[in-house]
A and B are shown apart, each in its own frame.
Chain A
Amino acid sequence: MSVATIFEIALAAVVLGLGIWTTAVRDTYSATVGFVVYGLLVALIWVRLDAVDVALTEAAISGGLGGVLLLGAAARVRDAGFMAAEAPGKAARVSAAALSMLTAAALTVAVFLLPDSASTLAPAVVAHAWATGLTNPVTNVLMAFRAMDTMLEKVVLLLALVGVWSLARDSAWGGRPGPRHQADPNGVLVFLARLLPPIGMVVGIYIFWTGADHPGGAFQGGAILASMWLLAIMAGLTDTPPVNRRRLRLLLVAGPGLFLVVGLGGLWFGAAFLAYSPALAKPALLLAGTPERSAQQ
């Protein structure tokens, strides 16, 4: 057994242990912390699977942005109390365990039955890389070959944000979503919220820019920028923008909107919807990828 294999087995064991702990621990806040660490370690598995782009996404979103959301929710629901009577009975637990084990066993068998060389689209992606001038194959797929997915994904993000906004009380509609956060001005949170954002913004913009040719990209960079903003909001240094501000809304619609414009431009000048002409590809892609998500409160 090589060192790499031992490392992989240890990594898988730690990830599984964290998963079990997250599922089993009684305190919800601990479970949330466990899940954040789990997300960061899953990112390491993605690195070992040679998918660095996915690893960056997983770390930035599961570990960073999603972790902040979950921790915030856990802190607010914490004193809700847990009624033991609500837990399902023993029969239900045993059958749930049996079902889960059966599912896991079936999936394990499926993994072991995978052929060594599966059909792949990698050669096709490499062969058509000239069309965009970008050398990161994953960015090529996201922004050009399957741009439709990415456009619809931006629409999903927008819909989720509208959904979160619409949960505001009638009286608060149009105002700032959620209460203004208060933090001890001499505390560690405020200190970090002053220290980290400049570094985080540089890293976020770099990851976005370098995504054209190296692992990275708009989602990962956008998630880092959003986390930095969220950190400043949580420390009470800045506030969430009010929902009824026109500039904010325009900026949010600009993401899918620009994508749509670029897509229709492809229909007009080129062969099909979202078809880019090679000379204009990089500016068009940068334009389409620029406005990224806003803070999800």
Chain B
Amino acid sequence: MTAVRVFGVCAALAVGLGLFGLITNPQPLRKIIAFNILGSGVFLLFGIVGRHGAASGIGNDPVPQALVITGVVVAFAATALAIALLLQLFQRAGSATLRNGAPRSAGSDPPGG
């Protein structure tokens, strides 16, 4: 079970790293990447829990595996939507910033987070 612990620490630190990047990095694209790192850490933690449930000749509980596969695909769909929103923001405002007072073309709503 050493391997599981090593990867467990790795996953926990990935969650921390993603959280830090999400809060401190001002660029939206970097926030999306940080959120994906956070997500991959959470998925790994789930996989580690599943590894503890190895039984019947299967090395990793298949139900968490299936849930993680579903999760990865849904995370991808959310990332694609977030990137599309970001590119729209960039196209309309001329800069990809989430700050309210940023220089931008007048007359449009302040972008939400």
Q: Which residues of A contact B20 (CB under 8 A)?
A: 23, 96-97, 99-100
Contact with B along A30-48 (1 / 0, CB 8 A): 0110010011001001101
Q: Please tell me which stretch of A111-119, A191-199, A250-258 contacts chain B, meaning at least 4 of its Cβ atoms lie within 8 angstroms of it.
A: A111-119
Interface: A275 (CB within 8 A): no
Interface: A287 (CB within 8 A): no
Interface: A276 (CB within 8 A): no
Q: Looking at the assembled complex, report how far the CB atom of A235 sits from the nearest CB atom of chain B, in whole angstroms.
A: 20
Q: Which residues of B contact A39 (CB under 8 A)?
A: 40
Q: Which of B56, B73, B96 contacts A61 (CB 8 A)?
A: B73
Q: Looking at the assembled complex, report how far the CB atom of A158 sits from the nearest CB atom of chain B, in whole angstroms.
A: 9
In this complex, which of A111, A114, A156, A157 has the most chain B Cβ atoms within 10 angstroms of its Cβ?
A111
Within 8 A of B (CB), among A142-173: 142, 145-146, 149-150, 153, 156-157, 159-160, 163-164, 167
Q: Which of A9, A28, A35, A54 contacts B6 (CB 8 A)?
A: A9
A96 to B108, CA, bound (A): 31
Interface of B is mostly: helix
Within 8 A of A (CB), among B1-40: 1-21, 23-27, 29-30, 32-34, 36-37, 40
Tell whether A50 pairs with B60 under 8 Å between CB atoms, given A23-B21, A28-B30: yes
Q: Which of B16, B25, B49, B58 contacts A104 (CB 8 A)?
A: B16
Q: Looking at the assembled complex, report how far the CB atom of B56 sits from the nearest CB atom of chain A, in whole angstroms.
A: 4
A137 to B25, CA, bound (A): 41
A150 to B1, CA, bound (A): 31
State whether B62 touches A100 (Cβ < 8 A). Answer: no
State whether B13 touches A19 (Cβ < 8 A). Answer: yes
Q: Which residues of B contact A45 (CB under 8 A)?
A: 7, 10, 44
A159 to B8, CA, bound (A): 33
Interface: A73 (CB within 8 A): yes
A140: nearest residue on chain B (CB-CB)?
Answer: B62
Question: Could you tell me which B residues sit within 8 Å of A by CB distance?
Answer: 1-21, 23-27, 29-30, 32-34, 36-37, 40, 43-45, 47-63, 65-70, 72-74, 76-81, 83-88, 90, 95-97, 99
* Known contacts A61-B73, A125-B58, then 18 further A-B pairs from the complex at CB < 8 Å, ordered by chain A residue: A15-B14, A19-B18, A28-B27, A38-B37, A80-B95, A86-B26, A86-B97, A100-B20, A111-B8, A121-B63, A122-B61, A126-B58, A141-B63, A146-B63, A146-B66, A160-B78, A163-B81, A164-B80
